[in-house]
Amino acid sequence: MPLRVVMLGDIVGSPGRLAVMQQIPVIRQRWKPDLILANGENAAAGSGLTPEQYHKLRAAGLDGITLGDHVYKRDQIVPVLETEQQIIRPANLPTLAKGRSWMRLTPASTPGSAPTPLPNLYVLTVLGRIFSSLPADDPFAAVDRILPELPERDPIVLVEVHAETTSEKQALGWYLDGRVAAVVGTHTHVPTADAKILPHGTGYITDLGMSGPYESVLGRRIDRVLTHMTTAMHAPFDVADGDPRVCGVYLEIDPASRRTTHIERIELKADPHARPFVA
């Protein structure tokens, strides 16, 4: 029986949070995942994550949450990073950075599940260095360092690459092919059409896309972005609210080989006229 995992792209603002909360039951019914994860680094008005939002997303059904270059934009998240087991910061930040550099997620047993428990999933995120606003160490070396430190032999590992450029994400995918179960890209908020299994069994996609408002420019109000780009004058990039969607991938991972046997994109339109968007 495969380990079934859903990983969702960057949650952007209130529309992204509400869309994820609304669509988690749909995801569970359609794909029956053992674990659901998401990148939450844009959840707080487009930048950062608050403790309240973390706990609400967890209560809604997210088993784990990753963060990227906006990890510390909300100071109050630091105690959560230090105490909670289901949230991680990028692994290639300086050694004194607050928070965990990887997490272990254990699938819950359900009635009628396989007699042999499903294996744990280890998750780590690395920042890209090209055009990155947050200084980070070598992501290739960071993964090389962490993999031998994981407390299991031949663990199932998902690596998220939070990076600006497609080239850096692809390079890490090829570098880790056959060494981890999956490599997924985040940060650029535009879903890519290259979900595939690399030659040695690693599931890969360059960008999951965002979970947020798609009637926007990368989640921000179109009029504000156009004002800035056509006049060079400052305009606050407020989060948009039109056409909320949830995007990501569904993975099936073979517990024996620790490799991906199936990968498919997820793109679900949320209903802004239904709960939890409206009471």
Which residues carry out catalysis? Answer: 70
* Amino acid at residue number 51: P
Q: How far is CA 255 from CA 14, 27, 51, 260, in A?
A: 36, 22, 33, 9
* Amino acid at residue number 62: L
Task: Provide the β-strand partners of residue 267.
Answer: 247
Pairing verdict, β 242-254 and 3-8: antiparallel
Cα 237 to Cα 222: distance, rounded to the nearest angstrom: 9
Pairing verdict, β 87-88 and 103-105: unpaired
Letter string b/e over residues 42-76, b meaning 16 or more CB atoms within 10 A of that residue's CB:
bbbebbbbbeebbeebbebebbbbbbbbbbbbbee
8 Å CB contact between 222 and 216: yes
Cα 59 to Cα 258: distance, rounded to the nearest angstrom: 29
8 Å CB contact between 186 and 158: no
8 Å CB contact between 235 and 228: yes
C-beta pairs of 97-104 under 8 Å, 24+ apart in sequence? 98/72, 99/67, 99/71, 101/142, 101/146, 102/146, 102/150, 103/64, 104/150, 104/151
* Amino acid at residue number 271: D
